[in-house]
Structure formats: C-alpha cells, structure tokens
Chain A
C-alpha cells in the first residue's frame, strides 16, 4: 500500500515519510502540483497527503481536479492556514480530513488510518483502541482478544466514537448514526446508550474512557 506525499519542503516530506514508514506505509514524495498530477495518473495510491501551499499553485486546485474526475483517492490535507474558513473550504472541496501544521506524526498516522478504514477503503476493517478491537464488517468486539457481545445500538455508538477516537463527536452525529436521519429521537436516548456502553466497557475491563463533553458530544480515548 503506497501513499503519496505532496509537500514542497523536502526536509518535512522526508521526516513524514520516515514516520509513515515506521508505521508500515511506503511513500512517494513529490513537491509540486504538476508532479503530483503525473504521479496519481501513473500509480494507484491508497491515499494522498497534500500540502496546500505549493510552488506552482494551490493544492486545493489539484483536489478539485481529482474530484471533478470522480477520483475517490482519499486525501488528507496538510496546511499552515488553519482558519475555520480554510477548513470548511478544504473539506467542501473534497478533502477527507484536515491537519494543521505543526502536527504530530502519530496524529497524522491516526487520521490516515481513520480514512483508510472507512467503508470501501483499503485498510483492514478493524478499529483498535487500547485493548479493544472492533471488526467493522462482522461488527464483532474483542476486549483483550475475548469476543464480547453488545447490543446493536451500543455497537453503533462504539463504532462512531472509535472511528473518531481522540476527537469530540457531536451528540447530533451520534444520534444520526444510531437512528438514521428519520424518526423522532427521545432527547436522552443517546445518553442512555452511552452510559450503558460505558458501564459494559468497564465490566469487560476495556481500558477505554468515554468522556462526555457537556453540551457538545462525546470523546473516546484510551485510559491512561
């Protein structure tokens, strides 16, 4: 599985490539929009890490070009500009995720893997956190290697929080994920499922915490 890094700063590109290699990913590095265009035409990449500020143009234009061709190549945008507006623009133009400089390579790897584990992407279907493994295809949950049974709704909650581990998932998104966009949802339904999930995870000895960010949503992280 090969990744394409589009970054004009050779030193940063080299370090990111080294970090990704440690995590088990081989990479090609290009420094301009033109080279990147040629690269994606000739090689089938698993994902692209795209810097926006490139010497021969804006990385976003390349992204727009790809999406116009209906190319589903997952793209993680790296940028020095981290205004809210920039992020919205980037995501609207078809970026799968967005990371502002400076960033930790572990964060970059985590974001990449989250993209690659999306349905239809190349990475295996399992999501991991601490001693928990979740298989997205069979919807099976393993804690310390032992399969554990959760209800369908709680499994859904676990899945969406696991996919975006370390980040806050708005309560509305959890609701939509469990119940779909149709149907009335009791206002405390999500709370009920989250608290049940939390209790069961505790009982099964998962080293996982589900933080409630009051008024916003939930965040799943490893217990330290």
Chain B
C-alpha cells in the first residue's frame, strides 16, 4: 500500500514539474534554451515514475512487505514541534525556542522525567548559541532576551 503512495507521489511530482517545464522555451539541440534540460528530464521522470507506479498498482511492486512501523502519534507531535520551532524562532529568539523544542522532542523520544530533559535543553541551547554566535560570529535571532 505504502509503495503505491510513494510511487504515485513521485509520478505526480514529475508530472507537475513537466507541466511547468513546458512553459519554458525549449530551443533546439544547437541552441538549448531555459526549458531544454527541464523538459527532457521531466519527460524521462514521468515515464519512469509512471512505469513504476503502474507496476506497483498491478501488485508487482518491490516491497516485500516493508515493515513500516511508524508511531503516527509521535510523528504528529514531532511535526508539530518542528513547525512551532520554525514559527517561534525569529520572534522569540534562538535560546528560548530551542530550549522549548528540544525539551518537546526529548519527551517525544521517550525520555522520562522532567529534570533531565530540562537540563539537557538548557545546556544544549546555550552551548550552541555561544558556539555559533560568539565563536563563529553567526547571527542568531535574539528575540525576547536582549
């Protein structure tokens, strides 16, 4: 089942790419233009992904029952945490957002208790802030603090 989705997704991706590639001028073999490589690549990708997709639909796919044991709840929580991190990073600042997200992910990963995740989150965030900002002079959002 999963393989059908994966192959189908790639087929859809290739098709969309090709549609946009067709809007570009193709040129010719002696004077290729912006659409030359995209269209050739797009067509090849559509054909191959289409073939693979059909094959898997007909049941002749590769997956010998790939044991896909994903904990969907954890996945959702993880996705949510990362999205929140991305949203919070600039307004709230690096240290605070990183502490929060690291704490969240540690808990998602099954780390028990509150003390250990807290300590790890705080230390790691401050450590990397110092390394990147001070030692390497890379600007990181400061946000709420300072």
Physical interaction between A and B:
no
Give A residues with C-beta under 8 Å from B. none
